[in-house]
C-alpha cells in the first residue's frame, strides 16, 4: 500500500485559478511513483514552477470551457460530516465549506490518474474509494492506496461498501474480497455469465455491494442477486424469482423495502417474492441503472442508460427531457442530506430543482 498526505487545492479566481484547476485535472503530476510504500509527503503550491502554471493555464482555457467538475462524474457520496465527494473520470473531489478540493494522491500503482467508481465511509469516518486501479482510503490529510500487490483480488474495482463492523467489501471484475484492516480475504461466490451487450464484463463481475438496515450484505453480480447473513450466502434470485443473471444495483428505501435493478427490469422485493414493476410497461434495453427516492417518496430510476422514470407506487411516468432541460447521461441518482436530488454522469453534475436540471460546476452553486 502507498500512504500519502494529500495536498488540498482550493478553487479561487484569476490566473492561479486556471492553473490549479488544470493541475487538479491531472496536467501536472504531483504525488507520483517516487512515493514508496508508507512514505508520507505533502506538496505545496510553491513547488509548482512558473512553466507548469503557464502550460496548465493554457490547457484549462482549451479544455474546461464549461468549468465542469468533470465531463464524466461517475458517482457522488455525502459523508457523516456533510462533505460531498465526487468520483470522476480523473479522480476524486471533496466539497467542504463551499471549497472544492481535488485529492491528487489517489493514483494507480504507476502514478497515473484513476476513475472513481464507488465511495463509502466506515464506522471510524474513513472514506474508501474504489477505482480503476485498486482502492484508496482517505483519513484526514492522509491517502493510502491499495493494489493487487497488497492482496486485492483485482485492481479493476467496481464497487465498495463498509459494513457495520468496519470490514471493507470490494467488488471487482474478478469477484469480491474483504479487507479487515490488516489483510484481504477473497469472498468465494458462484460464477455467472458474461454480458456480451456491454463493453466490459466477466463471469465473476460484482456490480454493487450494499449492507441493509438489518445488517445483511447484498451482492449484485453476473450470477444473480445474493445475500450474506450469519456466515451464510443465499442465492436470492433463485429463491424469489428474479429472471436474469445480470443484477446491477440494490436500493433500500426509508421504509425498508428492497428494490433491485437488473438487465430485465426493476424489481420490488415483497413477501419473499420479486415483483417486476416495469415488465411490459417500458423498454428496458440495456437494463435498469441507478435508483433513488426523492423527498416526496417518489422512486426515480434510469432505464436503458438514457431515460428517467418515476414510480409513485401506482404509476410509472417517464420524465420528459427537452433540449434546454436534459441533464447528463445519468450514471447515478443521489439524494443528499438536504433531500436534494442529484443526477451525475456523462456531461457533469446536476441537481433537479423545480423540475429543471441545474448544472453544478466547480463554482457551484452549492
- Tell me the three cell numbers of residue 314: 401506482
pLDDT at 66: 65
Distances (CA, A) of 12 to 6, 9, 19: 19, 9, 10
Q: Is residue 31 in a domain?
A: yes
Alpha-carbon dihedral sign for residues 48, 51, 55, 58: positive
Q: Is residue 52 in a domain?
A: yes
Q: What is the pTM of this model?
A: 0.84
Q: Is residue 108 in a domain?
A: no
pLDDT at 38: 32
- The number of residues making up the chain comes to 366
How many domains, in total, are found in the chain? 1
Number of H helices, E strands in the chain: 3, 29
For the residues 21-33, what does the mean pLDDT come to? Answer: 34
Q: Is residue 3 in a domain?
A: yes
Torsion over CA of 48, 71, 113 and 139, rounded to 10 degrees?
Answer: 80
> Mean pLDDT in the chain?
86
CA 273 – CA 188 distance, rounded (Å) = 26
CA 41 – CA 268 distance, rounded (Å) = 49
Q: Is residue 60 in a domain?
A: yes
Domain of 59 in residue numbering reads as: 1-65
Q: Is residue 82 in a domain?
A: no
Q: Is residue 54 in a domain?
A: yes
Using pLDDT thresholds of 50, 70 and 90, give the confidence band for residue 49: very low
Q: Is residue 72 in a domain?
A: no
pLDDT at 25: 39
Amino acid at each position: 500500500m502507498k500512504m500519502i498526505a494529500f495536498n488540498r487545492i482550493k478553487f479561487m479566481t484569476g490566473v492561479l485559478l486556471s492553473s490549479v484547476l488544470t493541475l487538479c485535472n491531472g496536467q501536472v503530476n504531483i504525488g507520483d511513483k517516487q512515493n514508496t510504500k508508507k512514505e508520507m509527503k505533502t506538496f505545496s503550491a510553491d513547488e509548482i514552477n512558473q512553466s507548469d502554471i503557464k502550460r496548465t493555464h493554457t490547457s484549462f482555457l482549451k479544455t474546461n470551457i464549461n468549468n465542469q467538475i468533470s465531463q464524466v462524474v461517475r458517482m457522488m457520496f455525502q459523508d457523516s460530516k456533510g462533505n460531498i465527494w465526487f468520483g470522476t473520470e480523473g479522480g476524486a473531489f471533496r466539497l467542504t465549506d463551499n471549497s472544492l478540493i481535488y485529492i491528487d494522491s489517489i493514483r494507480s500503482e504507476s502514478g497515473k490518474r484513476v476513475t472513481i467508481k464507488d465511495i463509502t465511509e466506515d464506522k471510524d469516518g474513513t472514506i474508501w474509494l474504489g477505482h480503476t486501479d485498486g482502492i484508496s482510503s482517505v483519513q484526514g490529510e492522509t491517502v493510502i492506496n491499495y493494489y493487487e500487490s497488497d492482496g486485492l483480488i483485482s485492481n479493476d474495482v467496481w464497487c465498495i461498501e463498509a459494513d457495520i463492523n468496519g470490514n471493507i467489501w470490494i467488488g471487482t471484475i474478478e469477484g469480491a474480497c474483504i479487507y479487515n484492516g490488516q489483510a484481504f480475504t477473497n469472498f468465494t461466490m458462484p460464477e455467472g455469465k458474461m454480458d456480451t451487450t456491454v463493453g466490459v464484463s466477466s463471469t465473476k463481475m460484482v456490480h454493487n455491494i450494499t449492507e441493509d438496515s438489518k445488517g445483511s450484505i447484498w451482492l449484485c453480480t453476473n450470477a444473480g442477486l445474493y445475500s450474506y447473513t450469519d456466515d451464510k450466502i443465499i442465492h436470492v434470485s433463485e429463491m424469489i424469482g428474479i429472471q436474469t443473471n445480470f443484477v446491477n444495483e440494490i436500493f433500500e428505501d426509508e421504509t425498508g423495502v428492497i428494490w433491485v435493478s437488473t438487465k430485465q427490469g426493476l424489481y420490488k422485493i415483497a413477501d419473499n417474492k420479486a415483483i417486476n414493476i416495469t415488465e411490459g410497461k417500458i423498454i428496458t434495453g440495456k437494463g435498469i441503472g441507478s435508483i433513488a427516492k426523492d423527498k416526496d417518496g417518489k422512486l426515480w430510476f434510469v432505464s436503458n442508460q438514457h431515460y428517467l422514470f418515476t414510480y409513485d407506487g401506482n404509476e410509472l411516468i417517464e420524465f420528459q427531457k427537452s433540449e434546454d432541460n436534459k441533464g447528463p447521461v445519468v450514471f447515478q441518482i443521489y439524494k443528499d442530506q438536504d433531500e436534494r436530488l442529484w443526477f451525475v454522469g456523462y456531461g457533469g453534475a446536476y441537481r433537479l430543482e423545480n423540475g429543471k436540471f441545474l448544472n453544478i460546476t466547480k463554482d457551484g452553486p452549492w
